[in-house]
Structure 1
């Protein structure tokens, strides 16, 4: 399902540091400074403005650095349902995977695939029950070798996100596929030194994928 960029609508983006990017607190919305942060959410708004100057979307950024799907669940009422958007874009899962690789003492902070699937499904179901549209963007790892352990596990979580979207009849934005196309010509270091936090070019790759997934060709 694609959205009409000319139809008045409040679109809320929620996720981890990739979404956050130093957005305005408590609510990432406005016109002064960088209320949407400095990442893909701001670029989505910029692309809409540049390519469809008559667009009527209100863009809101509610990303929080470090979040897992468990963190999203803890703040869903205040940061999504209470804001009453017309549509929500969820991109979560990178920290759910990364914490299993980055340190050995994350303990209960690690999010297994069963909890990831169940929690994401519950958030989607609750949001749709409130009359809010939902799109799911898959997590990614900027590494071309699909046998690399973290890339393989991230692919598994992205597959879960895609399955949840399909089961609920939602749009799925395959961010990993967008990065894979770029990685056919670029080294991962050209996009993200840690293979997780993109520079501006990487955020543009995400923004292009999100705009195409939400609005089609502009």
Structure 2
């Protein structure tokens, strides 16, 4: 059963995969605020299928964020929004900078720092919300021996462990991507193996909705049962 009570506020936080061209000047849950990715799709489906719940969806993704950059704005962009539920997906930039950052001396996030920071964020947030949702970082690369893909898997496993410690719902987006890639090329979903196109975002949204027990066959409202 979908866990979100009527009038719940659900804040999504993350990097460019969450951001996807959202209007930073838009009012929360207003026109342009959802972006063009999975958050917008989740919002649309929750609104269409659960109109009686009147759920408020807020997109607080910021393109380019790693977990340290996200942590620096967490209080303002997440906690100050007074969410009932927080969904977070972070990690791909923490990994990516290890591969595209050396020639610009990028500030790299180690696996230990990633875990420590994630633990701190969820630890501070858990007492203030009704529930947490942790989404795995992912890469649309079927070769698990690819160096970057292998590192993404390690960061995703840390995200899973932190989620377990805080009784968060864990959304294994990587598993959904891997299932798709058994049949089709990554180029169907992404041009760079990291940023999804609309098909990839639909897959992310579907995976998130499955994890929260979205009822795809719902035909009656709560007060009609």
Please say whether Structure 1 and Structure 2 have the same fold, judged by a TM-score greater than 0.5: yes
User: Counterpart of 1:169?
Assistant: 167
Pick the aligned partner of 2:98 from 94, 97, 100.
100
**Runs of 4+ deviating beyond 3 Å:** 2-6, 105-108, 215-218
In 2: Cα distance, 1:52 partner to 1:111 partner = 39
Offset of residue 31 of structure 1:
4.0
Is the CA contact 1:99–1:110 (under 8 Å) kept in the aligned structure 2? yes
Offset of residue 108 of structure 1:
5.3
Which deviates more, 5-14 or 76-85? 5-14
Is the CA contact 1:14–1:62 (under 8 Å) kept in the aligned structure 2? yes
RMSD over aligned CA atoms reads 1.7
What is the CA deviation profile of residues 105-145 of structure 1, one whole-angstrom value per residue up to 9, with x for unaligned ones?
A: 35452111000000000000000132452111010000011
Matched, 1:128 2:126: yes
Shift in alpha-carbon separation, 1:68–1:212, aligned structure 2, 3 A: same
What is the CA deviation profile of residues 28-74 of structure 1, one whole-angstrom value per residue up to 9, with x for unaligned ones?
A: 63343x32000000000111123333332100000000001101110
Which deviates more, 11-20 or 163-172? 163-172
Is the CA contact 2:47–2:54 (under 8 Å) kept in the aligned structure 1? no
Which residues of structure 2 form unaligned runs of 5+?
Answer: 217-225
In 2: Cα distance, 1:96 partner to 1:11 partner = 24
Is the CA contact 1:89–1:136 (under 8 Å) kept in the aligned structure 2? yes
Higher Rg: 2
Offset of residue 101 of structure 1:
0.8
TM-score, normalization by structure 2: 0.90
Q: Which secondary structure does the structure 1 equivalent of 2:102 belong to?
A: coil
In 1: Cα distance, 2:175 partner to 2:110 partner = 23
